[in-house]
Amino acid sequence: MVKNTVRFHEDVVDEIEGLVEEGVLESKSEFYRFASEYVLQRMSEEYDPHMVDYDSVKAELGPDGPQTIGVAGEAAADAGSGIPFLESTAMIRKYALRGNFADAEDFIDHHYEPGERDAMLLEELLDLYRESHRPGDA
C-alpha cells in the first residue's frame, strides 16, 4: 500500500470521527478507503476495488444497505436536480478554473436544493478549487 496525505475540511473529519465513535465504521482509514474505492468503481466499470472486505462494507454502508451514514440510493439521486452529477462536477470545474466562483455558486443554487447530497459535494469541490486558486499559493 502507498501512503497518501490528503487535507479534508474539519467538518468532514468530525462527521467521520463521529461514525467511528458510534461503531458504524472501524476507523477513519476504513471510511477513506471505502469512499475512494466506491467512487472509483462508480466512475469506471472496469475498476476492481482492492480494499479487503470491500463487498461486505458496501453491503452494510452502500446504497442498498442502511442509510445511517446518509448514502442515498439511486432513486433518491434521480429525484434531485435531474442533472447527472458528473456533468455538474464538470461545470463547477469549468467555472472554477476560470475564476468564476460566483457563477459556480449560482449553478449549484439554481440546480440543487440546500442540503441535498450532491449540492454539498459540489460545494466542497468548489471550496477545493477556491483554495487552490488563491494568489500566492503554489
Separation of alpha carbons 16 and 29, rounded Å: 10
**Count of H-run helices and E-run strands, the chain:** 7, 0
Separation of alpha carbons 138 and 136, rounded Å: 6
- Residue 112 in contact with residue 122, Cβ under 8 Å? yes
Separation of alpha carbons 112 and 127, rounded Å: 17
Does the pTM of the predicted model rise above 0.85? no
pLDDT digits (tens, 9 = 90+) for 92-134: 999 999 999 999 999 999 988 878 889 999 999 999 999 887 7
pLDDT digits (tens, 9 = 90+) for 63-80: 544 443 333 444 344 445
